[in-house]
Structure 1
């Protein structure tokens, strides 16, 4: 069975998150996108602790598409250093995995 990942991306606005989600789905890199937020983020940037509101974009994708998803986010995300991380999905129902693979290209 093909391994799936859950990709988490923080975005500065709902519009940016929706644009990335749409691009990933249109390119068939991800089967599904979920958007949460706003959430409060705290982080150090250029030596200063910052706080801002962000939106969390979740993409479910085949592990083989990680590099393409990462490249897409780097290309369209407005941050200098976008937070994009992926976690392996260790337990996925057979029907969901089949649906995800049917709706993506690897």
Structure 2
């Protein structure tokens, strides 16, 4: 697949990047090389290979999910200049 100016412009828009005019040709060549490499990888016969997520044959130890009572609200409000019950009191900023 060859990357042309139209496709590069679309990629610029999608990625929210602006490629400098002097770098456009180099970028098109680099992207074309990357796509060509991926196309070569697509030719590999991987039907006999099992899909893997990790190369390590171990499972992740999970901790037991236990609910713990915490007074985070009280701690945070204790450090606030003004509060009323569970809410901060702040100066009015919109008239």
Q: Normalised by the size of structure 2, how large is the TM-score? A: 0.20
Structure 1 or 2: larger helix share?
2
Structure 1 or 2: larger strand share?
1
Q: Normalised by the size of structure 1, how large is the TM-score? A: 0.19
**Quick check: which has more Rg, 1 or 2?**
2
